Amino acid sequence: MGPFSPERLDEVALARAPLVQVLAQIRFANDPDVAEPTRARQLKHRLRDDYPVLRQEPSVEFRLDIGGGSPQRIDSTLWRLHDADAKWHITFTEGFLALTTYEYVSRGDFCERLRHVLTEFLETNDIALLDRLGVRYTDRIDDPEVLGSLDRYVRSEFLAGASVPLDQGVVLDRSLWEMQFRRTDEVVVSTRSIFLPPDVTHDPGIKPSSGRSWVLDIDVYSESMTRFEPSSIAATAEEYAQQAYKVFRWSVTDDFLKHYGGEI
């Protein structure tokens, strides 16, 4: 079965999955009221059982006019709700809301949490349409034994640079291989294969590994304007998550699944 087959793929549970982050993001037309402290506190109150901690952070964005000129600096407020262990985060500001976890349980659990968060978000904000929905999975391998024979665990199509012959004392320090696919329904599937040196991360939301690492980042998204309806968004996010899983399964070998505790 290919990574874009319409058939449903049964999941192989991995006891030691190298999954470091899962994220769903919803973007909508900028609404300054969303970032108002009163709205943020109202949302915290509604979600206090699962996300009791509310933090305010400054956010800076630079926008470049296509016609030229200096970049325009835009300062805004970013709000973050999280659980007591900081394993689940809700991040929102005037133009987006994201749900992030570093302790993924299952696709169903994640999408149900997303539906609940969006339902409560709509109770405190008047958002009619979304501009973009994306679901992103990030896996990382930093086990030296696995890295030493990565072509045994990962298909060559996702290992840019790994096939280059190296003399003794030479290692692949870093590389980035990106592929983007567009389905006929305008859903985009973007993959990034990344080799990183120690103490370096490709994403500020992910702590770096102390050793060399290889990262597989899979992002499935659409940029079509649709109604902001929590149950529909959660169902679409689950379909995107299934697509991401198909790409992941196609990219890894049976040895990978067995090594990380899968029963096949």
DSSP SS3 for 60: strand
- Residue 14, domain member (yes or no): no
Alpha helices in 19-58 (DSSP H): 37-46
Q: Which one, of 248, 243, 194, 234, lies nearest residue 24 by Cα?
A: 234
Cβ(53)–Cβ(81) below 8 Å: yes
pLDDT tier at 95 (50, 70, 90 boundaries)?
very high
Rounded to whole angstroms, the Cα distance separating 240 from 222 reads 9
Q: Which residues are 179's β-sheet partners?
A: 191
- Residue 63, domain member (yes or no): yes
Share of the chain above pLDDT 90, in %: 81
Q: What is the pTM of this model?
A: 0.91
The pLDDT tens digits for 46-77 are: 999 999 999 998 765 555 555 555 665 556 78
The pLDDT tens digits for 107-124 are: 999 999 999 999 999 999
Burial of 140: CB neighbours in 10 Å, binned 0-12, 13-18, 19+: buried
Burial of 158: CB neighbours in 10 Å, binned 0-12, 13-18, 19+: buried
Q: What is the total count of domains within the chain?
A: 1
- Residue 9, domain member (yes or no): no
- Residue 1, domain member (yes or no): no
- Residue 264, domain member (yes or no): no
Q: What is the pLDDT of residue 75?
A: 65
| Residue 138: domain span | 19-259
Exposure string (b/e) for 5-24, b if CB count within 10 Å is 16 or more? eeeeeeebebeeebbbbbbb
